[in-house]
Structure 1
Amino acid sequence: MGVIKSFFKQIAYILPEVEPPKKKISLRNRFIWSGIILILYLIMGNIPLYGVRTGGQDWFAFLRVIFASSRGTLIELGIGPIVTAGLIMQLLAGAEIIKFDFTDPEERGIFTAATKFLTIIVTIVEATAMIASGYLVLASYSVSVVTIVFLQLVVATILVMLMDELVQKGWGLGSGISLFIAAGVAQQIFIRMFSPLTVRVDDEIQYFGAIPFIIQKALQGDLQTTFMRTGNYPSLLGLITTLAVIFILIYTEGMRIEIPISHAQYRGIRGTYPVKLLYVSNIPIILASTLLADINMFATFLWSRFNPNNQDPLMNLIVQMETTEGGGLRIVGGLLYYVTAPTDIFQAMADPIRSLTFVITMIILAILFAVVWVEVGGLSSEKVAEQLVESGMQIPGFRRRAYSINLVLKKYIPLVTVVGGFFVGVIAGVAQLLGVFGSGMGILLMVDILMNYYQILMREQFEELYPSLARLVKI
């Protein structure tokens, strides 16, 4: 593995990099930088890809919230390659396939360079797959147009990677990835709730936003038709479910088991180690969604190259597709049909088997990835016990040994890992079927990200108001 790390060390010199600020930036200026980066990202999401035609069903729609992407624009790939590369590197490091000493700044730099390099590789692979599979419908398949579209996707994703790095290195707050996801979900929720634009539904002009539509129907004395709408348009059911899911998630974020701990040398220092119900947070959903997205993209490539007419019985078992009037692709059969979400609640009710298998798939994947992430991400009871002992902490009434602390933690961590994975899988799957604004996965991510931002802001304000005390606490 020394050869691999040496390669990444050498390649780090040619990879693009954002320099960190020479001194800590004030909270106000970090807000400004975060706002500028977010505005740039939103602008990129409104610039269409040159040479690409729009239209057809977007069967990646339910995953776009996870990847903060926008169809047919410069952020077509969104943060997908960045997340995929980051998760692969985390898994390799956590499983010690490639060992990194994160206490050494040089090793951390090599890890960052490896992640960047892998991000560029994933971007190239995904861009190639999207063009070659026909998922992106090009105006012309000449060499020049294909090259221009490919370069747009690669360069835009590299820019997004640098924008995320700029925020993370101290110019902004939190991480760019979290900022892009939260803003994208919030934007979708706002549009689907309040948009005054009109659409034609069943030969009738209706407001797109749920609240304007409800007011419109109330004035017409026809409130019973607001509960569900065809075409996946925002409805009263979606509004109620969205508010309910947000409330449930905020309430669940506070559910935890607090294990008392104290410092072995300074007996007056006491605290608790919280084991939250959502112990692994939204990681299982991100991993599950990334896996499904990559499988779908690979299957589309195989279908377009080897089974475009759905005549191969073996390939038909995996996926069957058809071309829509707009030139896009739609999954109509095969195993992948049953692990992708229906486009609206009417499709969900019309094909309950597909709806059920989709939810079960999300639950199984969420539980599996929760268990795997706890082991490779350093969150297992054994790893946490070692970390507590190394930091000088102990559980009152138990010997200050990793073995003793592990016995206590083992009562809770494996259980909440499975229960938490099951919970987020159910929320993500069922909410998707019920037409939650921003999708169930999106709201899961948004609530978790906003809670983390709240904690960051509280810590930043504390450090600005009481710098001496903040340094003491860090020690």
Structure 2
Amino acid sequence: MSSERFSAISKIAQYIPEVPRPLRKPTLKVRLLWTLLILVLYVTMGFISLYKVTVSAQALPLYQIVFAAQQGTLTSLGIGPIVTGGLLAEILVGSEIINLDFSKEEDKAAFTAMVKVFTIVFIIIESVAYTVGMLGFYYHVPLSALPIDAIQLILAGIVVYMLDQMIQKGWGVGSGISLFILANVALLVMVDLFNPVKVAGQFFGIIPFLVQAALSGNIYAAVLRPNGYPSLVGLGATVAFILLLVYLEGVRIEVPVTSSQYRGIAGTYPIKLLYVSNVPVILVAALLANIQMIASWWASWARTSGLWYASMLAQYNSQGQLVGGLLYYLIGPQTLQQAISNPLLAVLFVAVMTVLSTAFAKVWVEMSGMSAEKAADGLIKAQMAIPGFRSTRSTVGMMLGRWIPVVTLLGGALVGLIAGISQFLGVFGGGIGLLLMVDISIQYYQTLIQEELEFIMPRLAGIFGR
């Protein structure tokens, strides 16, 4: 991209609201307080409905989980525009379509401006697209309310972007995107556990239903409930997958390193089995969620227009549940009963999740600067060396190259497999949602540990606090 275009983007970015950095770094307690306030505001927005919008059927659960969205509310878009804008900028720079040198302050500023502009553009585009899409099967909204709803979504999207910026600029802890996903999934888990609302004469949440079943003498009714309601099988699967994910997060290869500047300082460079963390699943889920959203709107439009191919896109039963069509196969089985009745659908969904997650893991490592060569550069710049080997980029890169490509593919396949299988086992919060929640919780724990480490060894916090 030419310097003239960067100059134009920078000028546009000047008119976009921006959160200033604090003059001095706030204490951890102050940042935790700001984080709590930001979280409360975001969750509250998720309970405020759009103007004259009534949601008639729940759809696209994957989109709601990945983008921390609540359909029909001010957070209908969630973090979608932020993720999409940032991801597009990362792809353009990582693939070297746009050449930037992040050691230069002007290039850092250009990248920040590009992300800001992309995010605002996607806020506007997705707000308009979502508003038009509300004329389909899942919503009841008068045509005259659509412009107001579009404006609401645009303003809410800007507010969400500003909240994320507050955390990113140092007012809060961690990442706004991760925080919103964590809160959204945690809320879903709490609903599955404790929701006291009765549906068809029975409590929705597994805890109140379990009490109800025990009092009626039919405790076995809670083992596997119909229609995807929370069950004891789902509760057991949730606990099992949490333990499995926590264990996998701790599996790593410890590469010994020593400081070439400070004699006697030694440690290890950890290469985790889940090297790329939950990023492959987020990318796969984001891809599938956007495809599902487009297919859903297309199917809804075809249905309301009475087109002959509407049933090929989506088929619904009398309760408004999706039972067939292209969209049915894109979403995959949502319950164990669906997986048992249609094993081909279950196998196909798990295979797609595993293959795509593996592919995205490999691509992301190269694009995000996590390859063996980039990791070697980081160690050398931090003046760290592997004992017994020369401290050169090629030598250190060769040593790290023994493990990083392997754990990249294996870790990507594992998270894809876990996400695919857990979806139809009734895991609370959804399979992908639970995976994100556990991983983000661990990241927050590590962030807090790193905060303490920075007081002791600021230079090495980025290496040993990973």
> Quick check: TM above 0.5?
yes
Which letter maps to 2:292?
N
1:218 alignment counterpart: 214
Does residue 422 of structure 1 match 2:413? yes
CA shift, 1:430, in A, is 0.7
Q: Distance in 2 between matches of 1:138 and 1:6?
A: 44
Write out aligned runs for 1:15-414 (5 A): 15-58=16-59, 60-133=60-133, 134-135=135-136, 137-142=139-144, 145-200=145-200, 205-303=201-299, 308-309=305-306, 311-312=308-309, 320-322=313-315, 330=322, 332-334=324-326, 336-414=327-405
Contact 1:339 1:357 in 2 (8 A): no
SS at match of 2:169: helix
Larger mean CA deviation between 404-413 and 338-347 belongs to: 338-347
Larger mean CA deviation between 212-221 and 275-284 belongs to: 212-221
SS at match of 2:168: helix
- Structure 1's 472 and 164: CA in aligned 2 closer, same or farther, altered over 3 A? closer
Deviation per CA, 1:356-408: give whole Å up to 9, x if none. 21111111110110000011111111221222223222211112222222222
SS at match of 1:170: coil
Q: Distance in 2 between matches of 1:272 and 1:303?
A: 53
SS at match of 1:171: coil
Deviation per CA, 1:315-367: give whole Å up to 9, x if none. 98xx61257768x7947313x43231223222222222222211111111101
CA shift, 1:50, in A, is 0.7
- Structure 1's 167 and 288: CA in aligned 2 closer, same or farther, altered over 3 A? same
Structure 1 unaligned segments of length 5 or more: list them: none
Which letter maps to 1:168?
Q
CA shift, 1:304, in A, is 5.3
- Structure 1's 436 and 472: CA in aligned 2 closer, same or farther, altered over 3 A? closer
- Structure 1's 168 and 472: CA in aligned 2 closer, same or farther, altered over 3 A? closer
Contact 1:12 1:110 in 2 (8 A): no
Identity rate, percent: 43
Q: Distance in 2 between matches of 1:23 and 1:186?
A: 32
CA shift, 1:418, in A, is 0.9
Larger mean CA deviation between 453-462 and 401-410 belongs to: 453-462
Which letter maps to 1:434?
L
Contact 2:56 2:140 in 1 (8 A): no
Contact 1:199 1:208 in 2 (8 A): yes
Q: Distance in 2 between matches of 1:471 and 1:240?
A: 42
Which letter maps to 2:367?
V
Contact 1:277 1:420 in 2 (8 A): yes
Larger mean CA deviation between 224-233 and 290-299 belongs to: 290-299
Contact 2:62 2:285 in 1 (8 A): no
Q: Count residues with an aligned counterpart.
A: 458
- Name the Cα RMSD after superposition: 2.3
Deviation per CA, 1:119-168: give whole Å up to 9, x if none. 222222223333334346342223xx221111111111111010010111
Which letter maps to 1:228?
L
Which letter maps to 2:366?
E
